[in-house]
Structure 1
Amino acid sequence: MQGFELDGRLARDSILLTELGLCQVRLQNERRWPWLVLVPQRNGMSEIFDLPPEDQAALLSETTRVAAALKSVTDATKINIGALGNIVRQLHVHVIARAEGDDNWPGPVWGFGKAEPYDDAIKDEFVSRLLKVLSA
């Protein structure tokens, strides 16, 4: 979206996959968990309730769509969804696939160990499968 400014930390730690009606869908560069980040393309927003009602509805719809696609592609035990923003204030929603036995199951992903970036082949294969499901 023209004029939209992405927080530098989100840009540094994630990869743009696609844009939906409201949100950028970004892949967190952390191979231990399939982890997507939805960023509403609205400047100056830090809370979901900061969005006008029609954007709130779009965010819920897009989050649900992305979460279902992620579960389909990963066969996750649980999809975790959260909008924290304690460090990065720009409004963004984490959508994380968790599976029994993954690193730190059933604990949280935040602050656990050191991030492990994707290698290109695994990332490309995952992104291809995810985008195929999202576009269906």
Structure 2
Amino acid sequence: MKQNFALHPRLAEDCITLGRFGLCRLLLMNDSHYPWFILVPEKPDLTEIYQLSTDERIRLTEESSLLAETLADLYRADKMNIAAIGNLVPQLHIHHIVRYRNDPAWPAPVWGKFDRMPYTEEKIAVIRGQIDDRFKGLLSEI
């Protein structure tokens, strides 16, 4: 863990940690309705992107773009929804949600549409393997 960084309790409760890029922790939202990943810059007390240094903003953009491109390819996305909202969880975090024209919430946002449907341990292992394969050498363990 980066010095003085602590993951917000809500993110820790709702997500599965997959690893760390250079700046961000990579999480999987534990809701199998959608492939839903979250990047959290491992810097203390951040709520907004503009609070990052210029170099960190560039790094965040690179990590987000790499994740989005990889997820779009891996999951054959019709659309990638990427958002940093933070109304309920103030800690800076960026959602990357794979969307399909036939998903349960399409075309509306996914927030609050359905009760969460947690992944099985087997499916988590499959996703972890896919992510590890795609990000070899770029994603480290926590």
CA distance in 1, matches of 2:70, 2:15: 18
**Alpha-carbon deviation of 1:2?**
3.2
Q: Which runs of 4+ in 1 moved over 2 A?
A: none
CA distance in 2, matches of 1:104, 1:82: 16
**Alpha-carbon deviation of 1:131?**
2.1
**Alpha-carbon deviation of 1:121?**
1.0
Partner residue of 1:62? 63
Q: TM-score, normalised by structure 1?
A: 0.96
CA distance in 1, matches of 2:114, 2:36: 16
Corresponding position: 1:86 with 2:90: no
Q: What are the ranges of 5 or more consecutive residues in structure 1 without an aligned counterpart?
A: none
Q: Secondary structure at the match of 2:71?
A: helix
Letter in 2 for 1:65: L
Q: Deviations over 1:39-91 (max 9, x none)?
A: 00001110000111111111000000111111121011111100000010000
Give RMSD over aligned pairs: 1.1
Q: Deviations over 1:78-129 (max 9, x none)?
A: 1110000001000000000011111111111001010110011112112211
Corresponding position: 1:117 with 2:133: no
**Alpha-carbon deviation of 1:24?**
0.1
Partner residue of 2:107? 106
CA distance in 2, matches of 1:55, 1:101: 36
Partner residue of 1:133? 134
Partner residue of 1:32? 33
Q: TM-score, normalised by structure 2?
A: 0.92
**Alpha-carbon deviation of 1:135?**
2.0
CA distance in 2, matches of 1:78, 1:127: 22
What is the aligned-residue identity percentage? 36
Letter in 2 for 1:78: K
Partner residue of 1:18? 19
Q: What are the ranges of 5 or more consecutive residues in structure 2 without an aligned counterpart?
A: 138-142
